[in-house]
Amino acid sequence: MKKGFINSIGFKLIVLLFVIFTTLISASLIFNSQIDKLKVQIDNIYFGNFIPMLRLQNVVNNYRDLIFCIKKQEFNCSIKTHEKEILTNWSFYNNSYKTDQERAVVNSINKEINQSLKNKRLKNLYRSISKVDFLITYETEEANKQRKDFLKKYTKMKDYLLYNFIAIIVFSFSIIIYIFFQIFKKDNQLTILNKKYKIDSITDGMTKLYNRSYFDTLFDNLPFIANGNKWQCAFIMFDIDFFKQYNDTYGHDMGDKTLIAVASVLKKYFNKEYEYVFRLGGEEFGVILFDTNKDIMENCLKQINKKIVDLKIEHKTSQALDVVSISIGAIIYEPDSYVSANKLYKIADENLYKSKQSGRNKYTI
């Protein structure tokens, strides 16, 4: 069971590590993807709007120089040079990145510029300057607008990444807490099972008293415990009178009920610290008392004889009473007397036999 439990924990931890690893990679990919999109947007805004505006200003300046040349008709004034500069700068601007809305505006102005350079009428040239000035203002406003949109998207993206990061942390911790809860639960179950198995291993299944195996372990150490603590200790043996006849008369089911009833009386009575009650086998019970004396024990035995009779369990085939009774044999162990556990058991058994020989429902110390 322990090996399977450990394997289960190992599997869950591997799953946990895999989930965390996967989520972190996913978060990294999402983050990189968003950063790439931001980079494209920044390039589009700055290189697609701000730098080409310098070209527009050159277009305006060359238009003015062209108008000046046409008006003055000076020898050193080259119309073709200005015309070429206008077309070069305008072509650069016209071919740069434009949104769909910007493209529609630029296309309409492009026709007017080309037309103005063909006929070179002052009216058309001035109108082109006006259009390009409008375009500079328009581009500035669009750049500001796009920057605001960009900042909104950027803020949303930051929040999105933050929330995802928090979600990953919460999710990971939830899995860890769940796994540790399962481990704790399993550990608690194992503790309960171990206690149950431990109790079951030393408990008689029917009467719920300590069993013979546990009695042997504790009784063998009785002299050592008594000597080490300088305690007087007692061992008591109980036997239900004429129990074979009881079973023959009332049946084994009733016999089991009687055993349980007698065991219950013993367990309730001897319930203090250093008091242990056992089922030794069949209808025979035993009690070990640590740190006691003869007067206390004799008073106990008188009361136990009475309590069993007071159960008033009918036993019409008994030669002692017409109800169930018990016979008792007991012995006191004096510390440092160095009597073996086997000898103690034998003496208690002999005392039990004396109680039976003297008429039953009695005790002998």
Q: What is the pLDDT of residues 61-102, one digit of tens each?
A: 988 888 888 887 765 678 888 888 888 888 888 887 777 888
Same domain, 234 and 127: no
- The residue-averaged pLDDT of 337-346 equals 92
| Model pTM above 0.75 | no
Q: What is the pLDDT of residue 76?
A: 63
Same domain, 162 and 43: yes
Cβ neighbours of residue 168 closer than 8 Å, sequence gap 6 or more: 23, 24, 27
Q: How many domains does the structure of the chain reveal?
A: 2
On whether residue 262 sits in a domain, the answer given is yes
Same domain, 9 and 141: yes
**278: three-class secondary structure by DSSP:** strand
On whether residue 205 sits in a domain, the answer given is no
Same domain, 56 and 172: yes
On whether residue 69 sits in a domain, the answer given is yes
Same domain, 120 and 10: yes
As given in the structure block, the two tokens for residue 63 are 């238009």
On whether residue 171 sits in a domain, the answer given is yes
341 to 209, 231, 298, 328: CA distances (angstroms): 21, 15, 21, 18
Same domain, 17 and 136: yes
Q: Is the model's pLDDT at 49 over the cut of 70?
A: no
Same domain, 66 and 166: yes
On whether residue 206 sits in a domain, the answer given is no
On whether residue 199 sits in a domain, the answer given is no
* End residue of a domain, out of 162, 178, 194: 178
Q: What is the CATH number of the domain that holds 356?
A: 3.30.70.270
CB-count burial class (<10 Å; 0-12, 13-18, 19+) for 175: middle
Domain region containing 130: 2-178
Same domain, 301 and 355: yes
Which residue, among 332, 334, 311, has the nearest Cα to 322 in the 3D structure? 311
Q: 82 near 115, Cβ under 8 Å? A: no
Same domain, 31 and 103: yes
Residue 337 has φ and ψ, to the nearest 5°, of -85, -15
Same domain, 165 and 241: no
On whether residue 189 sits in a domain, the answer given is no
CB-count burial class (<10 Å; 0-12, 13-18, 19+) for 361: buried
Q: 244 near 291, Cβ under 8 Å? A: no
* End residue of a domain, out of 160, 178, 196: 178
Same domain, 160 and 26: yes
* End residue of a domain, out of 129, 155, 178: 178
User: Highest mean pLDDT range out of 83-87, 164-168, 236-240?
Assistant: 236-240
On whether residue 194 sits in a domain, the answer given is no
Q: 292 near 270, Cβ under 8 Å? A: no
Q: 318 near 280, Cβ under 8 Å? A: no
Q: Residue 12 — very low, low, confident or very high, per pLDDT cuts 50/70/90?
A: low
Same domain, 162 and 16: yes
Q: What is the pLDDT of residue 316?
A: 94
Q: What is the pLDDT of residue 3?
A: 46
CB-count burial class (<10 Å; 0-12, 13-18, 19+) for 165: middle
Q: Is the model's pLDDT at 233 over the cut of 60?
A: yes
Q: Is the model's pLDDT at 311 over the cut of 90?
A: yes
Alpha carbons 295 and 364: distance in angstroms, whole number: 13
